[in-house]
Amino acid sequence: MISKNKLKELAVYKQQKRCDEDSLFVVEGIKMCDEILAANVPIKVICATFSWLSTHSNLPSSAEVFEVDADSLERLSSMRTPNEVWMLLERNILTINSNNLQFDNKPSLTIVLDHLQDPGNMGTIIRTADWFGIRHIVCSQGTVSCFNPKVIQSTMGGLFRTKIEYVDLIEYLSNCGKPIFGALLDGENIWNSPTPLRMPDQGAMLVIGNESRGISPEIQKLVSQRVLIPNIGGTAESLNAAVACSILIAHLLDPRNV
């Protein structure tokens, strides 16, 4: 069983600020922790109930492993209902892991996030990218951290199969050498455009902007094709950023658009 001192030492990582300072991140829950074990990445600490530990005998030797009861797990967890297992990992393992991602020879689509703020949107976009086999997401420095606990949980493991970078977007897009698609209200209707929306031979960048302000003016200047998802209903004011991203990805990667 875990000691009181060790529990106190680990409980500080409920605070995002402390995780940021120590370059660590927390993952919780059976599904997400099983994804981590499947990814074969180093784990710093594992705290879990007896029932979870009894079904996971081959744990990595790099990890400190502690059995905890429900009350101790609640002290560690930031979830409303703690779920059997809590892990602490070093952030640099994502960079190491992303270097081993397998890319095919098809034209690649990179998702670009311009000051996206909502953790749920970020997590959903990472999960969607994983579903479509997109392995690269580039973010502005002002985009929500991929290590936010809500982001981590909502990716459903996609975080460990996607390369995520935080860069100077103006510099990055100015030198990417690929067409840049931007979701904008003055863009061409993706269904009625005289020029069908399709994946260019050299691949492309798809920019998704801030939930309330959209793509920033300086990034708009770099967009080579402005696109619009038509508001067929005519009543909703806007479309959720993650939903819009999913629709555009599906359209760009539709094998019929060749």
pLDDT tens sequence across 164-217:
999 999 999 999 999 999 989 889 898 876 666 677 778 899 999 999 999 999
In this structure, which amino acid lies at residue 28? Answer: E
The confidence score (pLDDT) of residue 98 equals 62
Residue 104 has pLDDT above 70, yes or no: no
The confidence score (pLDDT) of residue 210 equals 95
Mean pLDDT (whole number) for 124-128: 97
Looking at domain 103-252, which CATH architecture does it have?
A: 3-Layer(aba) Sandwich (3.40)
Residue 25 has pLDDT above 70, yes or no: yes
Q: Is 76 within 8 Å of 82 (Cβ atoms)? A: yes
Mean pLDDT (whole number) for 3-9: 95
The confidence score (pLDDT) of residue 93 equals 80
Mean pLDDT (whole number) for 100-126: 84
Dist. CA 221–CA 208, nearest whole Å: 14
Mean pLDDT (whole number) for 94-118: 76
The confidence score (pLDDT) of residue 185 equals 87
For residue 150, what is the DSSP state?
Answer: H
Dist. CA 35–CA 12, nearest whole Å: 24
Tell me the pLDDT band of 49, cut-offs 50, 70 and 90: very high
C-beta neighbour count of 230 within 10 angstroms:
10
DSSP string, 5-37: HHHHHHHGGGSHHHHHHHTEEEEESHHHHHHHH
The confidence score (pLDDT) of residue 44 equals 96
Q: Specify the fold of 4-97.
A: 60s Ribosomal Protein L30; Chain: A; (3.30.1330)
pLDDT tens sequence across 61-92:
889 999 999 999 999 998 888 789 999 999 98
Question: In the predicted model, what is the mean pLDDT of the chain?
Answer: 90
Tell me the pLDDT band of 253, cut-offs 50, 70 and 90: confident
The confidence score (pLDDT) of residue 2 equals 92
Mean pLDDT (whole number) for 125-147: 95
Lookup result for tokens 């007896």: 50
Q: Outline where 132-240 has alpha helix (H).
A: 149-154, 169-174, 217-220
Greatest CA separation for the chain: 67
DSSP string, 83-139: -SEEEEEETHHHHHHHTT----SSPPEEEEESS---HHHHHHHHHHHHHTT--EEEE
Residue 247: alpha-carbon gap to chain centroid = 17
**Between the ranges 6-15, 96-105, 200-209, where is the mean pLDDT highest?**
6-15
pLDDT tens sequence across 213-243:
999 999 999 999 999 999 889 888 888 999 9
Q: Whole-model pTM?
A: 0.88
End-to-end CA distance of the chain: 59
Q: Where are the domains of the chain?
A: 4-97, 103-252
The confidence score (pLDDT) of residue 1 equals 82
Q: What percent of the chain has pLDDT over 70?
A: 93
